[in-house]
Amino acid sequence: MSTTAPPRRWLRAPLLLTAVALAATFLGAVPANAAGTLISQGKTATASSTENASFGAANAVDGNTGTRWSSAFSDPQWIEIDLGGAATIDQIVLNWEAAYAKAFQIQVSGDNSSWTTIYSTTAGTGGVQTLNVTGSGRYVRMYGTQRATPYGYSLWEFQVYGAGGGSNPGGGTGAPPDSFWGDTGSIPPAQNVLMVKVLNRTNGKYPDSQVYWSFNGQTHSIAEQPYVDMPANSAGRMYFYLGAPNSQYYDFIEFTVGPSVFNGNTTRVDAFGLKLAMRLHAHDGYDVQVGEDYQTFQEDRSATFQKFIDEVPAEFKQLAQVQSPYRIPAPGSVAAFQPGGQYANYFTSYAQSVGVNETTQFIFGCANSMASNPNMCAALNRHTAQLPSSQQQDPTQFYKAAPANYYAKFWHDHGINKLAYGFPYDDVAGQSSFVSHGNPQWLEVAVGW
């Protein structure tokens, strides 16, 4: 019996996209004029209905073109974004799945009650629609009045560009300020698929000469070579080290790169080693950030370890101690949660109550029988398996009671837009730090202490 966790689902996610979606992603319309900043990413999205719990409204603003919102199979339907504050809007990008709108309106509102239409059509084309508009308001919605297919309305992404907006009630996105990412205008053009730039964000702990990257047989400090001209590859990892090229302070990002697409993520599936954040920018203006949030980058490593100990239940505190100060391993990787360990039965009763007979270790790792049941593995880790299926993938229900994967919860709580890869099937309901986009221009990777 293997204890190896299944392959990350992000490695397979691009293969799940329909041909229609891929064509929409890579053949989308080029904006007629330069758009403002993307101000909808990670904001609160709501909808008139969802086809089922896997296709929630949040999927349309998560920056992941492998997840989507899908409505009930009736007219009319709508999806709405709360920008978090008053904003001026100059462009809308709708990335439709095969089930698109033939007739729809784009509407804005300042109070979520009175709506003004800033775009209207009865001849929608589907695919990627780039709409140059003029409007203002805190709320933006797509209001569909006629479906083009017998199915519902379905969007891979609903993007709003402009200026203004703000944090949603209850907290912001955690994204760093632009200054954190440096001068992106000086990043040289790629000769291959995209240019990768590695940033030293150790707050003075290490000079550039002691921040290393390793990929495709090459290892360099960023003082020697901060850029990597990334070629297409079937699956890869780029490692980062602090202090020396073989240091115990290390971590990695994961990716697949096609001839004109980047798919990748920061990951906490195995462990936390270094603070990492990625920013992907594409030629069409797509720009998204994932990874540890700005506050986490600003604090010392010892403070992050202590914060973990302070915020997780007793069973999980040891994770920040067993390999300190180098790593915080995932719970399924430590003896206490494995057969014979102190917490070997952590998930047992709860799992059995919903008809699952599996070890705690394999539930954390989504392995063995859990490898073929991503929805149930995600629900067990998030403690939603006891809920009706329509609520199991609702983020407002996650981690409300034990047993749950509080290691994963911690990285979500301290991730940009609350997204993280805390266990192998954390992409269920669009909660992972996976990003994917065609025609990429550059990727920055920030390495912290």
DSSP letter for each residue of 210-258: GEEEEETTEEEETTT--EEEEPPEEEEEEEEEESSTT-SSEEEEEEEEE
DSSP letter for each residue of 5-30: PPPPGGGTHHHHS-HHHHHHHHSPPP
pLDDT tens for each residue of 91-119: 999 999 999 999 999 999 988 888 999 99
CATH homologous superfamily, domain 17-164 = Galactose-binding domain-like (2.60.120.260)
pLDDT tens for each residue of 161-182: 988 876 443 334 788 888 899 9
pLDDT tens for each residue of 325-350: 999 999 999 999 999 999 999 999 99
pLDDT tier at 223, thresholds 50, 70, 90? very high
The letter for the amino acid at 40 is: S
Q: Where are the domains of the chain?
A: 17-164, 173-449
% of the chain with per-residue pLDDT over 90:
74
pLDDT tier at 285, thresholds 50, 70, 90? confident
- pLDDT in the model for residue 35: 60
pLDDT tens for each residue of 40-86: 988 888 898 989 878 988 889 888 888 999 999 999 999 999 887 78
Indicate if the pLDDT at residue 208 is higher than 50: yes
Q: Chain-centre distance of CA 215, in angstroms?
A: 23
Is this structure's pTM higher than 0.85? no
Please state which CATH class domain 173-449 belongs to: mainly beta
Question: What's the mean per-residue pLDDT of the chain?
Answer: 89
77 close to 202: Cβ distance less than 8 angstroms: no
